[in-house]
């Protein structure tokens, strides 16, 4: 990662811990962070755990990322940092965000979990911010591991010290399980056992989400929020889907992660190919269509983690795909301000685009592009075209 980014990198067990370290390092407790409401709910609780108030930004219906021009001037003056999403690997306008942050004297923190290999022009995502956090559990196909890349190499020792204070002891059996889990996952997919395994886990109560969002536990959250920054107090929320997010990694798992990383370039190449294929469909989000338009060189096609296809009646399609053995993950619906409410977040001043995007986005793995193309042609969903004004509000759920 140092070679890819030209920055020093601090190894962390997970991207979510990397983001937490960045928030603690560069944001004053009691401050606020501008972020997209179309994001993993875990990130909401990471921000709360750092003693900060999440401020929801308007988003672009083209890609679900922060719409810089729609953020009110009063909001820019009030926030203490900006946290990008790079949703599904589509890049935030990091260059303009950095210029805004520099003018306001606040840090830009890049959540690049979905964006290893994504670039703006010839500059990699992860090189614009005061710091950038990456995940190995996405493109590299691992079950943990990540990096925090600070702009100033002088911050490395302080970040390592804070990381070490937060780590829980390594466990050999967990390292072995995490090293073997990608192999088991590949076998399940190869043997077409995704649906029976998924249904068995659901029947046994092993899934931590009933739907797309975790349970808020509002009463407990109300009590907990008053005692931050405290990562341990927020553990029940931050650990969802990755209980070892701050467990120290031993040599067995580190070797497995190194092997995974050795195949990263091949993975990125396959993702570009799948992104171009899916991005050329009538369902692709406008930002994806632009990224794969005729004349765009292959090296400039983003190697997306998921390709957002915008479809009507998305939830019904998700259920139909599940019956065909395709489990859809990384759906961020409803937006975080609708999910958590104004008690815990500052709502977006213009929530309609986020609600529209969250309600219609079907995230598709570009590595499964050809199979998904066949299934989608069979299902023939109607594309959800972006609209504006009162029509957009009428289509948004819960309004």
Strands 123-124 and 307-310, by their bridges, are unpaired
pLDDT of 6 reads 96
8 A C-beta contact, residue 83 and residue 98: no
Structure tokens at 366: 């570009």
Residue 345 CA, chain-centre distance (Å), reads 18
Residue 125 CA, chain-centre distance (Å), reads 14
User: Which helix or strand (DSSP H or E) is residue 81 part of?
Assistant: strand 81-83
- Contacts of 62 by beta carbon, 8 Å cutoff, 6+ apart: 285, 286, 287, 290, 386
Q: For residue 252, how many C-alpha atoms fall within 13 Å in the half-sphere facing its CB?
A: 11
Cα–Cα distance measured from residue 395 to residue 361, given in angstroms and rounded to the nearest whole number: 14
Q: For residue 330, how many C-alpha atoms fall within 13 Å in the half-sphere facing its CB?
A: 18
Q: In 87-246, where do the E strands start and end?
A: 108-111, 119-120, 123-124, 131-135, 146-150
pLDDT of 204 reads 54
Helix (H, G, I), strand (E, B) or coil at 108: strand
**Rounded average pLDDT per 10-residue block, the chain, 399 residues:** 95 96 96 98 98 98 97 97 98 98 98 96 96 90 85 98 91 52 46 56 62 95 88 96 90 83 92 97 97 93 98 97 92 98 97 98 97 96 75 39
pLDDT of 255 reads 85
CA dihedral 281, 286, 291, 294 (to 10 degrees): 60
Which residue is associated with the tokens 């606020």? 32
pLDDT of 188 reads 39
Cα–Cα distance measured from residue 65 to residue 36, given in angstroms and rounded to the nearest whole number: 6
**Three-class secondary structure assignment of 128-159:** CCCEEEEECCCCCCCCCCEEEEECCHHHHHHH
Compute CA distances 148 → 166, 217, 229, whole Å.
15, 30, 20
State yes or no: cis peptide before 334, omega within 30 of 0: yes
Structure tokens at 200: 């068995």
């Amino acid at each position: 990662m140092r070679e890819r980014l030209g920055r020093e990198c601090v190894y962390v067990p997970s991207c979510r811990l990397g983001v937490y370290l960045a928030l603690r390092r560069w944001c004053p407790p009691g401050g606020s962070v501008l972020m997209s409401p179309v994001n993993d709910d875990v990130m909401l609780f990471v921000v709360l755990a750092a003693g900060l108030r999440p401020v929801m930004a308007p988003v672009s219906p083209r890609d679900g990322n922060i719409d810089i021009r729609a953020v009110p001037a009063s909001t820019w003056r009030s926030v203490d940092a900006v946290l990008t999403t790079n949703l599904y690997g589509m890049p935030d306008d990091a260059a303009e965000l950095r210029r805004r942050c520099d003018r306001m004297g606040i840090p830009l923190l890049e959540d690049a979990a979905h964006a290893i290999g994504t670039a703006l022009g010839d500059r990699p995502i992860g090189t614009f911010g005061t710091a950038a956090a990456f995940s190995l559990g996405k493109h590299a196909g691992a079950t943990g591991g990540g990096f925090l890349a600070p702009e100033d190499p002088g911050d490395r020792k302080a970040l390592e010290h804070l990381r070490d204070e937060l780590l829980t002891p390594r466990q050999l059996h967990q390292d072995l399980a995490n090293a073997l889990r990608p192999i088991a996952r590949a076998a399940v997919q190869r043997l077409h056992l995704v649906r029976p395994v998924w249904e068995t886990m659901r029947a046994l109560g092993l899934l931590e989400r009933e739907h797309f969002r975790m349970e808020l536990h509002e009463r407990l959250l109300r009590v907990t929020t008053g005692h931050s920054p405290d990562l341990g107090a927020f553990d029940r929320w931050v650990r969802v889907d990755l209980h070892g997010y701050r467990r120290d990694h031993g040599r067995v798992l580190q070797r497995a992660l190194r092997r995974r990383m050795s195949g990263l370039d091949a993975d990125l190449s396959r993702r570009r190919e799948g992104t171009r294929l899916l991005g050329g469909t009538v369902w692709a989000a406008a930002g994806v269509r632009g990224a794969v338009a005729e004349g765009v060189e292959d090296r400039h096609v983003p190697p997306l983690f998921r390709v957002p296809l915008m479809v009507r009646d998305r939830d019904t399609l998700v259920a139909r795909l599940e019956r065909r053995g395709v489990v859809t993950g990384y759906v961020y619906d409803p937006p975080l301000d609708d999910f958590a409410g104004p008690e815990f977040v500052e709502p977006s001043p213009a929530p309609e685009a986020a609600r529209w995007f969250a309600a219609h986005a079907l995230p598709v793995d570009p590595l499964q592009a050809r199979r998904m193309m066949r299934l989608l042609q069979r299902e023939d969903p109607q594309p959800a075209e972006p609209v504006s004004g009162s029509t957009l509000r009428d289509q948004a759920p819960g309004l």
